[in-house]
Chain A
Amino acid sequence: MAEMMYWEAIRRAHDEEMARDPLVICMGEDIGVAGGTYKATKGLYDKYGPERVIDTPISENGFTGLGIGASFLGVRPIIEIMSVNFAWLAMDQIFNTAAKVRYMSGGQLEAPIVVRSPGGTAHQLGAQHSARMEKVFMGIAGLRVVTPSTPKQAYGLLKSAVRCQDPVFINEHELMYNLKGEVPDEEFFHPLEGSEVVRQGSDVTLFGYNISVHWALQAAEVLSEQHGIEAEVVDLYALSPLDRAGIAASVSKTHRAVIVEEAEPAVGVGSEVMAILDEECFFELDAPPKRVSAVNVPIPYNRQLEKAALPTAKDVVAAVLALFAR
């Protein structure tokens, strides 16, 4: 098992899938000659050539639609959208075509594309480079949404997404591309559905996804060491469909829940998980579930304001203590 960075894991998945299947291509802004803003396609241009590693014009809706059209004929495009903020421009093709085409054609056509995009807040990039959009994608029937919290997931989720017949959106994170972690040497495929208990605990469940899994884990250590509270941490790597059974199973054990999300609270992962708890295991709850979310503001440029807008592990600890009335 080798340790590698998140970007290296993504790059490896691209490389293996492109070597295996000549119909796998990747496309996006600066992904070819420049190797990708976050290096996820570094070296692939030289290896596979400009026909398969395509530097696109800055035309998100256009090139996403082009990838979808190619997928109708069996091509497997991995489309990188440089920042999730720009994915708004491609929403027409993702939402109106990729997610709906199998349904509205009565099963005749499908759009097995992968769209990858970093979707978090980095360092002082301002309101138009800091949006979190997973809540938008997870509300779309016909689209799968996954979000890796580790290099291993980044590798395995992309491997499965490329081969899956459904369109898959992979929500990555600007701050995680240099995150190190172990990735198996042998090829492997991560499930696109389900959730993973990454820390066992008996007193409260902390739900996280992508970067917020790490905040939850940090909070769990503090809770254990300083407060004697054992938190279970559940990684919701699949945001659509959400793992209803897994969510209910953990809370049926711990009887308390806090959802940790980097996004604003409204209509998001937290509200959806709370609805699932309500529907699946309401009578197992010993306390009302809580959300730890971003403040509902466009992300500011100023460093202090930016930090104040986002949740931290400290906020998670405070939310858990409140659940125990401490």
Chain B
Amino acid sequence: MNAADKKRLLREMLFARRFEERCYEAYVERKIGGFLHLYPGQEACAIGVLEAARPGRDYVITGYRDHVHAIKCGADPKEVMAELYGKETGSSKGRGGSMHIFDVEHRFMGGYALVGGPFPLAAGIAKAIQMKGGDDISICFLGDAANNQGTFHEALNMASVWKLPVLYVCENNLYGIGTRIDRSTAVVDQYKRVCAYDIPAAQEDGQDIEKVYAAARTAVEHVRSGKGPYFLELLTYRYRGHSMSDSNAYRAKEEERQWSKRDPIIMLRDRLIEAGELTAEEYKAMDTAILDEIEEEIIPFAEQSPEPKVEELEKYVLAENDPWVHGGGN
């Protein structure tokens, strides 16, 4: 990866951080409702893995902590923010909300709120790819706690039996909602659980984007070459609670402090400055430009966009004018 790419990734991670922080503010201002699960701390995972794939072409699916995955796939951050505001211009026309960002044009196949739900969906997307041909792959991002759902085992088993082109990325942030992994899970190293399904698996530092990228390249290459599924575990940490309704009281301050020293953005920034590839001024300018974009373009777009029409409440429940409902060509 050259210096320009690294700087771009730094900007993408910083953008993700500032975007999520702004979501937090908007939530406190009650502009955003419902549940809101934020991504600060985990940026290197989605951005690093997808950098090694073909965002916008490979199919991506994830859980409810989905804003950054969608944006990396190519979703317009203005539309993502508008979705959080519940607006008609939002990614899902205001019908989904934070947990259900969709951008099918960019092959972001959605955020789903049932922990573990996307495991079989990703396998199904891979099945369709396999039937249709081509070398696209299916990538599923979920957290460590999702692996305690039955769908984890059911989907991994089928993906392995049928050699499906699917990459499972486990963002292990050590907590399932508010319960620490070692209190809920017999085997803490998630990649070890996968050996039961004869799927190659690896564990990597999820805070160092260069390591994430390198591990993801191996993973993506494996899947794309037709060798079947792959499982990549990334060790990471979320700075905020599980969602906005979480007081985060279950974590030791010392633990949080230790992880903050391994911030993915700071680590890459310092490395680039040390190597003479970035100056502190450049970084500051990058940050200012991002904050300006958020305040001057993204937030006003969300604020000023129209609400969905109440008259269209029942749209999208069933297909419109489907001839087969009435017997088709009879």
Contacts and interface: CB of A to CB of B under 8 A. Distances in A.
Nearest to B110: A105
A191 B96 contact: no
Contacts of A107: 93, 315-316
Contacts of A65: 117, 119-121, 123-124, 151, 154-155
B177 interface: no
A87 to B, nearest CB: 15
Interface in B116-171: 117, 119-132, 138, 150-151, 154-155, 157-158, 161-162
Contacts of B151: 61-62, 65, 92
A191 B326 CA distance: 4
A51 B161 CA distance: 12
From B112, B121, B123, name the one whose CB has the most chain A CB atoms within 10 angstroms. B121
Interface in B197-212: none
Interface string B77-109: 000000000000011111110001011110001
Contacts of A66: 120-121, 123-124, 127, 155, 158
Given A57-B154, A69-B123, A72-B128, A106 B91 contact: yes
A68 B121 contact: yes
A109 B318 CA distance: 12
Interface string A45-60: 0000001001011010
B248 to A, nearest CB: 27
A164 interface: yes
B282 to A, nearest CB: 38
A191 B157 CA distance: 38
Contacts of B91: 106
B276 interface: no
Contact of A64 (B103, B120, B161): B120
Interface in A205-246: none
Contacts of A101: 110
Interface string A70-86: 11111100000000000
A204 to B, nearest CB: 29
A71 B157 CA distance: 20
Interface in A90-113: 92-93, 96-97, 101-110
A142 interface: yes
A164 B319 contact: yes
A71 B315 CA distance: 21
A190 interface: yes
Question: Size range of the interface on A?
Answer: 35 or more
B114 to A, nearest CB: 5
B120 to A, nearest CB: 3
B100 to A, nearest CB: 4
A144 interface: yes
A92 to B, nearest CB: 6
B157 A59 contact: yes
B317 A102 contact: yes
B317 A61 contact: no
B102 A105 contact: yes
B2 interface: no
Contact of A144 (B127, B318, B330): B318
Contacts of B120: 61-66, 68-69, 93
A15 interface: no
A203 B317 CA distance: 38
A191 B190 CA distance: 49
A59, A61, A106, A190: which has the most chain B beta carbons within 10 Å? Answer: A106
A-B pairs, 8 with minimum CB distance: A69-B124, A62-B154, A65-B120, A106-B93, A73-B128, A69-B121, A59-B154, A165-B319
25 contacts: A23-B132, A51-B130, A57-B157, A61-B150, A61-B151, A62-B119, A65-B119, A65-B151, A66-B127, A72-B109, A72-B121, A72-B124, A75-B124, A96-B112, A97-B121, A102-B316, A104-B100, A104-B110, A109-B110, A110-B319, A161-B324, A165-B322, A188-B327, A188-B330, A189-B328
